[in-house]
Amino acid sequence: MSRVVALVVALLLSPAFLARSGASDLAPKRASDLRTLVDLGRHPCPNLLLGFALDTVQNPDGTTAPLIVPPGNVFIITSWEWIACASTPDGHPPIVSLFADNGLTQATLSFAAGTTVSTNSTNCSGGTVQTPPGVAVKRGTTLCVSDTDASIIVHGFITRDN
């Protein structure tokens, strides 16, 4: 009996079993799967009154295009960077949030509070957020930002939705 248990445990913990069970690391397959989203369009989100959509991709050649997630795929957020100036009283950093908005509801995906840096004329705050092992955004969902004063860049990649 103990041999059977040991064999089952060894099989379950084997790398081949883990890879087939979907427990392998989530990562882009090709460099062309990588995406950088920028806040150029500032289009409104369907359900977020004061936020804006992150729906523009910065291409490696310097051009931009709308974010299009192919059928059967998802966009995985790996990190995001933001800065907001003159949006809060001195000494109170803003909290910037990313939301998934499907047109009916919205869900918080990630949020961050920054460190405030004050100058004579501005009150700026910023931060970098890592999201290991990633945050999935499904096709047909709008990625939104809560703070209209924030500038934001989102890094991620497109992969199959298993």
**pLDDT tens over the chain, length 162 residues:** 444 333 333 333 333 333 333 435 688 888 888 999 998 878 888 876 778 999 899 987 888 999 999 999 999 999 999 888 765 555 566 778 888 888 777 788 777 766 555 554 567 778 888 888 889 999 988 898 888 888 899 999 999 998
Domain ranges of the chain: 26-160
**Bond prior to 70 in cis (omega within 30° of 0):** no
Give the architecture-level CATH label for domain 26-160: Sandwich (2.60)
* Listed residue (158, 123, 154) closest to 139, CA to CA: 158
pTM, to two decimals: 0.75
Enclosing H/E stretch for 11: helix 2-12
Contact 123, 60 (CB under 8 A): no
